[in-house]
Amino acid sequence: MLTCLVLAACAPARESNLAGTSLPASAQVERSHTKTPVIPADPQPEKAVSGWAVEAVVGGLTVPWSMVFPAENRILIAERGGSIREVIDGEMDAKPLYVVPDVASADEDGLMGMALDPQYADNRLLVACYAYLKGNQTFNRVIRLRDEGSALAEDGVILEEIPSARYHAGCRTRFGPDGRLYITTGDALMPEAAQDAGSLAGKILRVNPDGSIPTDNPFPGSPVYSLGHRNPQGLDWHPDTGTLYATEHGPSGFDGPPGGDEINLIRPGGNYGWPLVSHDDTLEGTQPPLVQFTPAEAPASGRFYNGDALPMFTGDFFFGALRGEGLVRVRIDPAHPAIVEQVEKIVDDVGRVRDVAVGPDGLIYFTTSNMDGRGTPKDGDDHLYRIVPVYE
């Protein structure tokens, strides 16, 4: 890992807190523009996009962890305590659409990732991952839910008994371009398990939508796709190259020097080093991060922008920063998937940011996590926000 560069935050008057980010020497650093006035209520189609602005969609959430878009006017949001909330046309129903009956929620675990099945339009299915207790042990379970419009109904278990804990619990779920379901798992406070190919802890898993194991997985008969992870919580594929990237939380002091959060290019069967190496350390046989962040940003998500409404962000990778408090944009060279050209924090005034997604309308949506016991709640927290275009 090469020399760190000081990066600019969204508001020019503030100092960036990405000063410990390790980037390739070829990276270009730019200062983000000042936010412009909000989008007109009825923009003219012929007017060009000249900037962007942040606006609140709904408040009153409690530690939202993941969101999906079953329709352009409908958003489902998973709260860590076990509720799935429904937002229609910008209004949130006061009553949860679904409550996981046996969720175990303490500190970092609970109801976590959600994802729409690739065939959702036909089968109305989505998946969700949550922590549960079995005896005195905590595990993660990935279930299938059927969307019945006015309610969600459980439709079977995809994978369970994934090691979990109140810290380092995972558990982002995403369907890839190949139609397979990818699941991130934390080391469940057992660092050595991340290097054990026979354990599901500290991994990125890959299964068929029904939970069966694809025949082309790198470890025959195993759902393990990559190993050596501490606590990955962001997954997405570059819209042009199809390359898989992941964000990962680094050590917190009790298990290594604080910092060392990562963005990784994920290869089938790759070993990402935890707990053998972290930060800028290297070890033969392991994959170094593309970028590492010290001090910690705590990257909690990851999404490439593939919409049309915000052309200034085309192909950019975004993640929510919990400890770093903001939304971070990463520009990756599409011709060279392992080269990060630029990193900047484009939103830094809303507190802890968890999930980020691109809606069917082409806007960027993100949620705050200020009610999780580690943030400073703002009026109306937690919120769902979105980035909208500003026109000339």
Question: Residue 274 maps to which CATH number?
Answer: 2.120.10.30
Q: Give, in order, the Cα–Cα distances in Å from 309 to each of 154, 354, 387.
A: 35, 22, 10
In a domain, 7, yes or no: no
Q: Give, in order, the Cα–Cα distances in Å from 198 to each of 139, 163, 168, 220, 278.
A: 16, 12, 18, 12, 22
In a domain, 314, yes or no: yes
* Angle formed at CA 378 by CA 102 and CA 107, multiple of 5 degrees: 30
Say if CB 44 and CB 381 are below 8 A apart: no
The DSSP H or E segment spanning 341 is strand 340-347
In a domain, 270, yes or no: yes
Ranges of the chain whose pLDDT falls below 70? 1-17, 19-20, 22-45
Helix count and strand count (H, E) for the chain: 1, 26
Number of domains in the chain: 1
pLDDT given at position 38 = 47
b/e burial code for range 133-167 (CB count within 10 A of at least 16 → b): eeeeebbbbbbbbebeeeebeebeebbeebbbbbb
Rounded to whole angstroms, the Cα distance separating 315 from 334 reads 8
pLDDT given at position 285 = 97
In a domain, 26, yes or no: yes
In a domain, 247, yes or no: yes
In a domain, 316, yes or no: yes
SS3 assignment, position 79: strand
Which strands sit side by side in the sheet containing 317-321, from one edge to the other? Answer: 303-304, 317-321, 326-332, 340-347
pLDDT given at position 47 = 84
pLDDT given at position 7 = 33
In a domain, 6, yes or no: no
pLDDT given at position 230 = 98
Rounded to whole angstroms, the Cα distance separating 14 from 81 reads 34
Structural domain span for residue 67: 21-391
pTM of the predicted model as reported, rounded to 2 decimal places: 0.91
DSSP state of 166: S
pLDDT given at position 4 = 32
Rounded to whole angstroms, the Cα distance separating 390 from 388 reads 7
SS3 assignment, position 321: strand
DSSP state of 193: G
In sequence order, the 6+-apart residues with CB closer than 8 A to the CB of 202 are 185, 186, 187, 188, 190, 191, 193, 194, 195, 227, 228, 229, 230, 274
* Angle formed at CA 90 by CA 86 and CA 94, multiple of 5 degrees: 45
In a domain, 9, yes or no: no
